[in-house]
Amino acid sequence: MKRLIECVPNFSEGQNMQIIKQITDSIESVEGISLLNVDPGKATNRTVVTFVGEPEAVVEAAFRAIRTAGELIDMSKHKGEHPRMGATDVCPLIPVAGISMEETAKYAQKLGERVGKELGIPVYLYEAAQADQKRNNLSVIRAGEYEGFFKKIKLPEWKPDFGPAEFDAKRGATVIGARDFLIAYNINLNTTSTRRANAIAFDVREAGRTEKDAKGNPVKDANGNPVVIPGSLKSVKAIGWYIEEYGIAQISMNLTNTRVTPVHIAFDEVCKRAEARGMRVTGSELVGLLPLQCLLDAGKYFLEKQERSTGVSESELIKIAVKSLGLEELAPFKPEERVIEYLLRDKSDNKLVSMSLAAFADETASESPAPGGGSISAYMGALGAALGTMVANLSSHKRGWDDRWKAFSDWAEKGQQLKDQLLRLVDEDTRAFNRIMAAFGLPKGNDEEKKARTAAIQEATRYATEVPFRVMEASAATLEIARAMAEKGNPNSVSDAGVGALAARAAVMGAYLNVKINAAGLDDKKFAADIIARGAVIEQKAQAEEAEILKTVNSKIS
């Protein structure tokens, strides 16, 4: 697996697009780097950049960006709503794939050391890259901001981890670290009051607020320490500010662990707190990127609140999430540009399923041997799952069946999962065939090459046997949905459940033909015999299940 690190540097410039472009050009000058997102904010005068690549490339790109930002940004003239202390204010590294947090932290330390030595910028490490727990929190490091650091940096306890203990008036200081994925998320209010926005921020943020007496003085405990009233949301940092560009106040949040506090929970909690204080939430704004699962979870959450089926497509869940969170209030929200998985995916992975029906049929009918029966079987299985899911969704919304919506929603959700799995297998079957062709094309000029070629052919053939077997398993599982819908679903759609069963059974039998023909070319006869025998059992059960479903369907429509 390729090792991937994401880097999300925040630069103290959000207005001059020429400067921002020069910074991002320096990032893209490094081979192997993918620039995913550039999100400038005029009022905050800050730009969040997201790029990804292998560790060494990311470190090099981050170094070039920090150097360029230091050359072009003058912090002595900088003004903005967001807390800041340097031209490159913060530069976190985030493990994405094939690399641990510990390894990522070492790369952050390597970057920090290089910035300190070669650029002479004071560098502070944070989060996983910082061993000293007293100074690993970004807000603690940045306290006092740019203006206060001329004195702060002279304190022994605030000596930089790397670079000089002299504050650079032009470039400021930089915080570099390693952390989990963080979501920067702003919630819009129907007020212009920063004070009132801050009141809500203190209500919800984990750090809460200091308790005060009737005279406004801090309440202290028996040890003389201020008494803190914690906020309602764990793993959330928040402040309130006024954004002149939009003419509204916002709650600016960092969600540091969406497994603890998801985006939709943060949004709903702010809605409740705002209403309690006489305000309303009008929408929200994402800064940078977020994982796909955040939007899928939000879509399901809001559908469940409406007692509607959650067994809808990925695109529909995203649409519901975007509308419910008001993510398009301030600017268009394009999932293909804001969801990290969409930006990282290889478009060749779904070449076939992204075609139109006509183009897919034409491609199948061409003289090319792929896509062939395996891919077609997977697609028939996907259509069978889709029909069963459709009946479940229609049944979930049927008048008079309100008390049954959740049961049908669960069936629909299962159907969506099987449909998506089978759609992925459409392209996977063709890729498996192409692997066999590539193996046959390997050189065979000597014994060593012949041996390697034979091994590659066998490995590819085994995989090409396993893929249609997975199609068999997934297609057979869709028959359970078709049966449930034929027996319990909306009677007006019972014929659709029957057609779904027909498609699923055909998918099982078609995929089994591919299992048998590919297994015949395997030298591992024990594996071949075993997978053929297991396939025969699945085929027999699918045929029997289809017969029972059609019997039920016909009894209801005759």
The token pair that represents 135 in the structure block: 């100074």
The token pair that represents 436 in the structure block: 């066999």
CA distances 7 to 55, 95, 183, 345, 347, Å, are 10, 9, 13, 17, 22
Task: Say what the pLDDT of residue 221 is.
Answer: 83
The one catalytic residue in 89, 168, 429, 496 is 429
Q: Which residues pair with 53 in a beta bridge?
A: 5
Task: Output 221 or 118, whichever has higher pLDDT.
Answer: 118
Check pLDDT > 90 for residue 469: yes
For the segment 5-25, what is each residue's pLDDT rounded down to a tens digit?
A: 999 999 999 999 999 999 999
CA distance 423 to 88: 43
- Mean pLDDT in residue range 121-125: 96
Give the domain ranges of the chain.
4-178, 183-344, 347-557
Task: Output 344 or 395, whichever has higher pLDDT.
Answer: 395
Which letter does DSSP use for residue 127 in this model?
A: E
CA distances 502 to 152, 203, 508, Å, are 73, 56, 10
Radius of gyration of the CA atoms of the chain, in A? 29
Check pLDDT > 70 for residue 366: yes
User: Are 175 and 85 spatial neighbours (Cβ–Cβ below 8 Å)?
Assistant: yes
Instruction: Name the class of domain 347-557.
Output: mainly alpha
Task: Say what the pLDDT of residue 33 is.
Answer: 95
User: Are 270 and 281 spatial neighbours (Cβ–Cβ below 8 Å)?
Assistant: yes
- Contacts of residue 267, defined as CB under 8 A and 6 or more positions apart, other chains included, come to 187, 281, 284, 298, 325
- Contacts of residue 20, defined as CB under 8 A and 6 or more positions apart, other chains included, come to 11, 13, 14, 38, 40, 47
> Strand pairing of 4-7 and 46-53?
antiparallel
Check pLDDT > 80 for residue 188: yes
Angle between helices 373-396 and 494-519 (to 10 degrees): 150
User: Are 127 and 78 spatial neighbours (Cβ–Cβ below 8 Å)?
Assistant: no
CATH fold, domain 183-344, is: Alpha-Beta Plaits (3.30.70)
Positive or negative: CA dihedral 309, 310, 315, 318? positive
Check pLDDT > 90 for residue 225: no
- Contacts of residue 293, defined as CB under 8 A and 6 or more positions apart, other chains included, come to none
CA distance 237 to 184: 10
Is 397 tagged catalytic? no
Q: Which of 134, 46, 158, 57 is nearest to 99 (CA)?
A: 57
Q: Among residues of the chain, what percentage have pLDDT more than 90?
A: 86
The token pair that represents 418 in the structure block: 């099987």
| Confidence band, pLDDT 50/70/90 cuts, at residue 228 | confident
Helix (H, G, I), strand (E, B) or coil at 116: helix
Task: Say what the pLDDT of residue 343 is.
Answer: 87
What mean pLDDT, rounded, does the chain reach? 94
| Confidence band, pLDDT 50/70/90 cuts, at residue 154 | very high
How many CB atoms neighbour CB 509 within 10 A? 19
Pick the CATH number of 4-178 from 3.30.990.10, 2.40.50.100, 3.40.190.10, 3.40.50.20: 3.30.990.10
How many CB atoms neighbour CB 351 within 10 A? 15
DSSP string of 138-187, one letter each residue: HHHHHTTHHHHHHHHTTSGGG--SBS-SS--TTTB-EEEEE-S--EEEEE
Is 524 tagged catalytic? no
- The DSSP element (H or E) to which 93 belongs, if any, is strand 88-97
- Mean pLDDT in residue range 518-525: 95
Check pLDDT > 80 for residue 133: yes
> Strand pairing of 88-97 and 174-178?
parallel
Check pLDDT > 90 for residue 269: yes
The one catalytic residue in 82, 89, 203, 427 is 82
User: Are 122 and 174 spatial neighbours (Cβ–Cβ below 8 Å)?
Assistant: yes
Q: What angle do CA 216, 217, 218 make, to 5 degrees?
A: 120
The token pair that represents 545 in the structure block: 């299940």
Q: Which of 358, 389, 187, 167 is nearest to 275 (CA)?
A: 187
| Confidence band, pLDDT 50/70/90 cuts, at residue 1 | low
Question: Which residue's entry shows tokens 């207005």?
Answer: 15
Question: Which residue's entry shows tokens 């780097």?
Answer: 33
540 torsion bin: left (phi>0), alpha (psi -120 to 50), beta (else):
alpha
DSSP string of 309-346, one letter each residue: ---S-HHHHHHHHHHHHTTTSSS---HHHHBHHHHHS-
Task: Say what the pLDDT of residue 224 is.
Answer: 81
User: First vs last Cα of the chain: how many Å apart?
Assistant: 56
For the segment 316-330, what is each residue's pLDDT rounded down to a tens digit?
A: 999 999 999 999 999
Which letter does DSSP use for residue 235 in this model?
A: T
Task: Say what the pLDDT of residue 240 is.
Answer: 96
